[in-house]
Amino acid sequence: MELLFIQSQEHPELPLAELKAVMECEEIQGNLNIITEGLVTVDEISKDNIDDYYKIFTRRLGYTHEVHEVICNFPKDQLKETILSINWQDYISDNFAVRVKRFNSDLDTTATEREAGSLILSSLPEDSNIKVKLNKPDSLIKIVAFEDQIYLAIEKIKLNKKHFEDIKPHKRPFFYPGSMSPKLARCMVNLSRVKENELVLDPFCGTGGILIEAGLIGCRVAGSDINWKMKNGTAINLEHCGIKNYRTFHIDVRELKMYEEASGVVTDPPYGISTSTGDMKGNAIFKEFFTSIYNNMKDDAYLCMASPHYVDLKPIANETGFKIIEQYYIKMHRSLTRVITVLKKDLDI
């Protein structure tokens, strides 16, 4: 079967990278096809495990808004005959609505929704009790138009993004300026390829934003910080979010010796003027961090971290036994671009 993903267009690469990482670590097999920015399909996905896959996508994805099961795709001038050829009772049992989403298309949204709804009703048997229900329908038919092509689908998941609004840094019990957005934190956790019940470590935990997102997808979490106020604030925020399986430590990363090797390390090391870095300066922060964290993570674990564009991580990673797997750039303002880097231990050296 084929699934269609409508993704955020906040960043040109991260939504797709996140989806690939989740499919990889959750061992979801399928061919990923990029239609355009914000719109991708995955075909040849197993129908036998589809309910489990829906649960995984719902629980994990941050930069995906909707997931739909593709019924078919066709040129937009074949809308009428295509809709009339489908046995809609295979997809609708009680009531439905039609919604149009456009990507680089001049399709008339309102007219197409009305036409499609009427065509579906006309194709049903006379004794059918299926009706149109515009507000909270049981079944939602999606017409996704890209240029002159239409993807006809039925909605399976509309991910609840209210969480990312409700848990913004300034809405947590403990707040400190400069905290990462929840959506980016979730994406970084996913890029680390961790699974449910595995241990995620953030050795610069700050206010706990990364650990909150890791905990909410079912991971065990541990955080440390050189600032005791941050360590305590992280615990307060984790408790506020209902996350119980956590441990926090007040310790310098250079002295960190974990009770258990982490399955994933996800972090945003301090590098701004206003942040506390102890006696570490400049690139030394990252070199000391890599050296310390190497023995605190499993050999197959991923490290996903943020850094400023003016720090070249490649020579530091090479020197400390890591290799860069992928990198993504986020322009914050005129003088700062944040780089999201995924690394692994280089076991071949």
Give me the sheet containing 297-308, strands edge to edge: 246-250, 220-225, 199-202, 262-267, 297-308, 336-345, 322-333
CB atoms within 10 A of CB 142: 22
**What spatial distance separates the first Cα and last Cα of the chain, rounded to whole Å?**
42
pTM assigned to the model: 0.94
Q: Specify the pLDDT at position 290.
A: 97
- Pairing relation of β-strands 139-146 and 39-43? unpaired
Q: Specify the pLDDT at position 11.
A: 95
Q: Which amino acid is at 151?
A: Y
Q: Specify the pLDDT at position 200.
A: 98
Q: Specify the pLDDT at position 160.
A: 79
Q: Specify the pLDDT at position 271.
A: 72
For the chain (349 residues), the mean pLDDT of every run of 10, in chain order, is 96 97 97 97 95 94 96 97 97 96 97 98 92 95 98 92 90 91 97 98 97 98 96 98 97 95 96 48 82 97 96 96 98 91 93
Two structure tokens written together for 193: 């390829």
Q: Specify the pLDDT at position 280.
A: 53
- Pairing relation of β-strands 95-103 and 131-132? parallel
Q: Specify the pLDDT at position 207.
A: 96
Helix (H) or strand (E) holding 100, with range, is strand 95-103
Pick from 281, 231, 271: which is nearest to 251 by CA? Answer: 231
3-state secondary structure of 341: strand
Q: Specify the pLDDT at position 278.
A: 52
Cα Rg of the chain (Å, integer): 23
